[in-house]
Amino acid sequence: QVRLVESGGGLVQAGGSLRLSCAASGRTFSMAAMGWFRQAPEKEREYVAAITWTGGSGGIGYLAGSVTGRFTISRDNAKNTVYLQMNSLKPEDTAVYYCAGTTGVSDLSQRSTYDYWGRGTQVTVSS
């Protein structure tokens, strides 16, 4: 089993920044990639970003179109942690952000790909 714990959420004004962290523990060696999803009230959970877990050079990162140019995903394997740096935040970024881990590398934008989920951290962007 893998346990994922998110942190770093909070309230920020539009245009501000936040950095989310996701700390993984347990059988982390089994993971191939990690991702971030978000869910706004009364909306479906949507893909935000993903990064491969194995391999060198910090992994390969992917971003949803809605956050490209504003968000960055990175990892620190020594700390078993993945980060989501969020800049130029907008009110529409308000959501609960979830970290997820997968043992495979099929479509990383799909929720069904992921085996493990954190409990989420709230991000609220005020206008």
pLDDT in tens, 32-90: 999 999 999 999 999 999 999 866 667 889 999 999 999 999 999 889 999 999 999 99
Quote the pLDDT of residue 53: 80
Question: Once rounded to an integer, what is the mean pLDDT over residues 7-34?
Answer: 94
Question: Once rounded to an integer, what is the mean pLDDT over residues 21-35?
Answer: 91
Quote the pLDDT of residue 27: 87
Retrieve residue 124's tokens.
């609220």
Supply φ then ψ for residue 77, to 5 degrees: -65, -30
Quote the pLDDT of residue 57: 61
Query: Which residues, in sequence order, are bridge partners of residue 4?
Result: 24
Rounded Cα distance between 104 and 125, Å, is: 33
Rounded Cα distance between 93 and 38, Å, is: 9
Quote the pLDDT of residue 31: 86
Quote the pLDDT of residue 26: 92
Neighbours of 1 (CB within 10 A): 8
